[in-house]
Structure 1
Amino acid sequence: MSKRLRSSEVCADCSAQDPCWASINRGILICDECCSVHRSLGRHISQVRHLKHTPWPPTLLQMVETLYNNGANSIWEHSLLDPASVMSGRRKASPQDKVHPNKAEFIRAKYQMLAFVHRLPCREDDSVTAKDLSKQLHSSVRTGNLETCLRLLSLGAQANFFHPEKGNTPLHVAAKAGQTLQAELLAVYGADPGTQDSNGKTPVDYARQGGHHELAERLVEIQYELTDRLAFYLCGRKPEHKNGQHFVIPQMADSLDLSELAKAAKKKLQSLSNHLFEELAMDVYDEVDRRETDAVWLATQNHSTLVTETTVVPFLPVNPEYSSTRNQGRQKLARFNAHEFATLVIDILSDAKRRQQGNPLTGSKENVELILKSISNQHSSESQDNDQPDYDSVASDEDTDLETNAAKSNRQKSLDSDLSDGPVTAQEYMQVKNALVASEVKIQQLMKVNVNLSDELRIMQKKASKLEKQSSVSESDYDNPTASLELEETGSGRKGRQRSVIWQGEGSIPEDADTTPSSSLPSTEDVIRKTEQITKNIQELLRAAQENKHDSYIPCSERIHVAVTEMAALFPKKPKSELVRTSLRLLTSSAYRLQSECKKTLPVETCPTTDIQLVTQQVIQCAYDIAKAAKQLVTITTKENNN
């Protein structure tokens, strides 16, 4: 941080002491509990960032500090400052209030409904009002009064407003006046540094002409913020814009050829119009932000109380301004494992560079969600089910490593580097990668599964009959036996049918052709006992991953494999129920694949190109699948035994 605020700082929503999160677009500081609610609202409502554990552009942090110190919170609580509000019973939340429903309801009313913001007199033509506000914003940004501009933006002023008489935008005015913090605020609200005025000049041009060189450099960074953020997520490195380098495109550590499906997906991605490509890129940007914030959250919270309903944001919240199809696709981005998501990000970076260099392909008029969905349909007719990821086709098959065309063309130029742009050695790359905490996203999900599983096991032991009703309400595709069957065949694993072949013999259920299908199932108590052992071993693996004890991966995976084998042995060799067979297949194949992934940690010292971070992410994914499959088996056996 550039500087710390006064020790008397308090949460803007509940007045708790020492808030450690900021809402950038609201200009406020918030505590952990209130931040969990902000995150659940989505970035279109509140853009949160940790004050200490997240990289900050110095001027962006200064902008938030300035707004906070100058009472920006009064913008969002205007009517609450009226003494009459106390008489009416309306009040803000307090530190002692429960997160749900007290704090959550207040925060939603404050930021989502804007219930306490000062309202302008109603006018018949709202567009005139917005135009008037935007003109006021246009003239205000030449001064340093940030809170005035934030108030105008909160009322509907447009950050990209093009003044018909002046022939420029508010960002042009701020850049010419050298108002760096105003430029930061405008950019947060969507101002484009690349917009040209009536003379064909951009805000960057005016900043340079005025001698505001640091501001000019910052505006260039803002212009490339999306691609910079994606690159930093993958390799912890950003381009050197000062030197004319505007893109860093990492490549996967493998050298396997692209599958036909992935080639088709890439071709469809390239055929998108610029507008639709930008929509997809923004969705992926939001998912990167969610995953990175999850990692910071995990690293800063009390792990004994971390995994609760108040802190988990498992997928991107709904943005009502988007279509339902796009919202579904955004949420399903969370299903991508580390390798799949990295492949999608690399493809977007590669195509963004191609488009920026002026090599457009014929634009497609199709909707971005439908284009990506159609690729998935080529893979399997069953993937037309709405539960399958709309963007799933862009990612790689779970067991097939991919690389982008850009990466392939640069492979010979980058034999000693894992980056296709820029002089970075493999050793430097590995040091940065090991410092990243991308795998913490899956760790958080795994912790959630383990805690929920332990709680449900205790409930089952006390009152198993309640599960019959609970089983009809699924938490995820694996929790719903029917949905999980579809998922295993066509879903996020993407290799459903192949998986049972790949792991045949070592990881799959032994099915003797002469064995008569059996409908008998083990007792619920036995399954629960074995599941508890699996959960305990997974927690040991989780701790090893958190502490970067990579040498513990193999022994942990072996103990998990033994526990899984013992659990599978409880069931008949050929269960009659297809749901049981599917769950057991997922359980055992995931355990075998976990062992295979853990063995990749052996040559780290002798083979510096081994991507230990990617291995860790795959290890966590396998453990996650094991925990979910075990939980599903408990649910199925309990339900069947109670019937």
Structure 2
Amino acid sequence: MSKRQRSNEVCADCSVPDPHWASINRGVLICDECCSVHRSLGRHLSQVRHLKHTPWPPTLLQMVQTLYNNGANSIWEHSLLDPLSVMSGKRKANPQDKVHPNKTDFIRAKYQMLAFVHRLPCRDDDSVTAKDLSKQLHSSVRTGNLETCLRLLSLGAQANFFNPEKGNTPLHVAAKAGQILQAELLAVYGADPGTPDSNGKTPIDYARKGGHLELADRLVEIQHELTDRLAFYLCGRKPDHKNGQHYIIPQIADSSLDVSELAKAAKKKLQSLSNHLFEELAMDVYDEVDRRETDAVWLATQNHSTLVTETTVVPFLPVNPEYSSTRNQGRQKLARFNAHEFATLVIDILSDAKRRQQGNSVSVSKENVELILKSITSQHSNESQDNDQPDYDSVASDEDADLESASSKANRKKATKLEKQNSVPDSDYDNAVSYSDLDDTGSGRKGRQRSAGWQGEGSVPETGDTDADPSSVLPSTEDVIRKTEQITKNIQELLRAAQENKHDSYLPCSERIHVAVTEMAALFPKKPRSEMVRTSLRLLTSSAYRLQSECKKTIPVESSATTDIQLVTQQVIQCAYDIAKAAKQLVTITTKENNN
């Protein structure tokens, strides 16, 4: 995009100039403040990505820019373009509006409630309307008119619709016509490149047959997007699909240390899942990877004083009303995993995805599965009080009805693509493992407790003095904010070093962060009376020590094995995020208590 075009860009939701983020499935560019609201909606409503600090497939970025330049925002604000809307009191947000409630209410109405989208005349049979729209989409994708197709998708057209008269899907049509941007849009809304037509041919086959080799290669990438994203998150590399390599399984340098019985049991549970449950878990982990990566970009790009006063990070995955309450809680528990635990879970998923795709079976008897579940249940019973903490949003129940945007089905389709890769039939023990049992999948509870502490020299300092009397005295809000700004500024320096691959800067940055954290902790009494304060201080100090430990791994040591710097970087980023989260919690607590 040219500099002249960039200078004319404004946020689609509030008209702030020079937006830095994009909502991929909405085809709009948005500012930092509006993006924070989009992220709180969840990926099923808005898939956000930073324009500069996040890697983009070139044709996906081109698709978003084309939609934005061709006025895709008018699809979501159709009724606001009517002059009568001003008289009725309807208006879009403006730059001077506060994030809460003004911009938040407008963005939720615009994308969640679809309050301003042009409505079709009411029909008795909604399925007929969706079928008609899908047939129109089927015809439209052979052209380059992206905004027409986005409008049809916004009204309920199905990206994976199989046209019985033509014997194929819209993606087959786009692939035959070589419409790579249409293929990108359809894939965002859930179209599957592996779907066969009535002749058994996939869109990939037709793209190759038509000589559209760039499109064919891109469709292969889209088909493996889930596992590619997980691998890239850990090691910064993607498989070489052109040469037949479809999986990369990263290895943790100290993985041999994690051999607890609970960790082994968790891996066996993962392997015993049916394909359907495995795909759900893989998709949830994909969403968690997206949340963690986007949070890291937030911390690196936002003004550090703004980070203290505004809600700019998403602490766990937002509720998706399409999912059961059990699954939503399981998704949100993924945020509890520290960097090592989460990396272990990702590697286990990648390994099992490859096993299932290759058709290798795992011999696990029903008795063994039940024994595993029983042992894990007993291990978790001691943690029930911890697990029952109100860490979650209000979670939608299975019976709750909610409005659903046209894009909300796309996440399910990504799991379907994984299913296409897996040729193994469903396990005989589909009902032996429930999704709720997977809340601590990965290194297991014991492994989590062991790895949560700092593994380097010394030990994590205790925030409470057992000989001291509990104190309810808290430092001033101004002092806590000042120290938090110092911590955040140092974290931003570390994250910029990570983005620029300046690995030798990790340790000096971590030492400055450690000093700032120590000064922050010293503001509080040795034994705070508030459990929330004690918990936040423990997270703050343990994360700072863990950060130093990870950063020390970047120092070359002749006698040690080669360090996977990409994996270390991911763990460094997660530690930095945990520190920022703990500091923000302390600001919130002290502000609330001092104002009472």
Fold shared by both chains (TM-score > 0.5):
yes
TM-score, structure 2 as length reference: 0.77
Q: 1:84 to 1:598 in 2, by over 3 A?
A: closer
| 2:422 aligned residue | none
Can you list the C-alpha shifts for 1:338-377, whole angstroms capped at 9, x where unaligned? 1111111111111111111222558999xxxx99997753
Q: 1:139 to 1:339 in 2, by over 3 A?
A: same
Which residue, out of 393, 398, 408, partners 2:440?
393
Which residue, out of 469, 476, 498, partners 1:520?
469
Query: CA contact under 8 A between 1:16 and 1:95: conserved in structure 2?
Result: yes
Distance 1:621 1:204 in 2: 41
| 1:379 aligned residue | 379
Q: 1:292 to 1:374 in 2, by over 3 A?
A: farther
SS of 2:201's equivalent? coil
Query: CA contact under 8 A between 2:22 and 2:30: conserved in structure 1?
Result: yes
Which residue, out of 533, 558, 562, partners 1:609?
562
Q: 1:192 to 1:524 in 2, by over 3 A?
A: same
| 2:415 aligned residue | none
Moved more, 584-593 or 325-334: 584-593
| 1:16 aligned residue | 16
Q: 1:635 to 1:99 in 2, by over 3 A?
A: closer
SS of 2:191's equivalent? coil
| 2:54 aligned residue | 54
Distance 1:229 1:621 in 2: 20
Moved more, 282-291 or 298-307: 298-307
Distance 2:34 2:495 in 1: 26
SS of 1:158's equivalent? coil
5+ residue gaps, structure 1, are 401-492
Whether 1:83 and 2:83 are equivalent positions in the alignment is yes
Q: 1:178 to 1:278 in 2, by over 3 A?
A: same
Whether 1:550 and 2:492 are equivalent positions in the alignment is no
Can you list the C-alpha shifts for 1:240-288, whole angstroms capped at 9, x where unaligned? 1111111111111124252211111111111112221111111111111
Which residue, out of 485, 490, 494, partners 2:449?
494
| 1:453 aligned residue | none
5+ residue gaps, structure 2, are 393-435, 498-504
Can you list the C-alpha shifts for 1:45-85, whole angstroms capped at 9, x where unaligned? 11111222222212112221222222211111111122221
| 1:238 aligned residue | 238
Distance 2:522 2:159 in 1: 62
SS of 2:37's equivalent? helix
Distance 2:444 2:127 in 1: 48
The amino acid across from 2:304 in the alignment is: H
Distance 2:319 2:287 in 1: 12
Can you list the C-alpha shifts for 1:215-236, whole angstroms capped at 9, x where unaligned? 1111111111111111111111
Query: CA contact under 8 A between 2:14 and 2:92: conserved in structure 1?
Result: yes
After superposition, residues 147-546 of structure 1 pair within 5 angstroms as 147-257=147-257, 258-361=259-362, 377-384=377-384, 385-387=387-389, 391-396=438-443, 400=447, 494-495=449-450, 520-521=469-470, 524=473, 542=491, 545-546=494-495
Deviation at 1:103? Answer: 1.4
Distance 2:15 2:188 in 1: 25
Query: CA contact under 8 A between 2:484 and 2:520: conserved in structure 1?
Result: no
Distance 2:355 2:268 in 1: 13
> Highest CA radius of gyration, 1 or 2?
1
The amino acid across from 2:108 in the alignment is: R
Can you list the C-alpha shifts for 1:185-235, whole angstroms capped at 9, x where unaligned? 111100000001111110111111111111111111111111111111111
Can you list the C-alpha shifts for 1:400-422, whole angstroms capped at 9, x where unaligned? 5xxxxxxxxxxxxxxxxxxxxxx
Query: CA contact under 8 A between 1:583 and 1:633: conserved in structure 2?
Result: no
Query: CA contact under 8 A between 2:37 and 2:104: conserved in structure 1?
Result: yes
Distance 1:345 1:206 in 2: 33
Distance 1:376 1:179 in 2: 51
| 1:473 aligned residue | none
Can you list the C-alpha shifts for 1:602-622, whole angstroms capped at 9, x where unaligned? 545875723566556369739
Distance 1:132 1:510 in 2: 63
Residue identity (%): 71
Distance 1:114 1:630 in 2: 33
Q: 1:374 to 1:203 in 2, by over 3 A?
A: farther
Can you list the C-alpha shifts for 1:402-444, whole angstroms capped at 9, x where unaligned? xxxxxxxxxxxxxxxxxxxxxxxxxxxxxxxxxxxxxxxxxxx
Distance 1:110 1:630 in 2: 30
Q: 1:90 to 1:372 in 2, by over 3 A?
A: farther
Give the total of aligned pairs.
536
Distance 1:600 1:176 in 2: 50
Distance 2:529 2:219 in 1: 64
Q: 1:173 to 1:361 in 2, by over 3 A?
A: farther
Query: CA contact under 8 A between 1:193 and 1:223: conserved in structure 2?
Result: yes
Query: CA contact under 8 A between 2:288 and 2:334: conserved in structure 1?
Result: yes
The amino acid across from 2:181 in the alignment is: L
Can you list the C-alpha shifts for 1:377-407, whole angstroms capped at 9, x where unaligned? 343313344348954422225885xxxxxxx
Distance 1:530 1:96 in 2: 29
Distance 2:196 2:38 in 1: 35
Can you list the C-alpha shifts for 1:551-585, whole angstroms capped at 9, x where unaligned? 426755875797699789x758xx99999998998
Q: Bigger relative contact order, structure 1 or 2, given CA contacts below 8 A and separation 6+?
A: 2
CA RMSD of aligned residues (A): 4.4
| 1:454 aligned residue | none
Query: CA contact under 8 A between 1:272 and 1:363: conserved in structure 2?
Result: no
The amino acid across from 1:136 in the alignment is: Q
Query: CA contact under 8 A between 1:287 and 1:316: conserved in structure 2?
Result: yes
SS of 1:166's equivalent? coil
TM-score, structure 1 as length reference: 0.71
Q: 1:362 to 1:110 in 2, by over 3 A?
A: farther
| 2:575 aligned residue | 621
Whether 1:43 and 2:43 are equivalent positions in the alignment is yes
The amino acid across from 2:563 in the alignment is: T
The amino acid across from 1:494 in the alignment is: Q
The amino acid across from 1:393 in the alignment is: D
Distance 2:467 2:120 in 1: 71
Query: CA contact under 8 A between 1:76 and 1:110: conserved in structure 2?
Result: yes
Query: CA contact under 8 A between 1:21 and 1:32: conserved in structure 2?
Result: yes
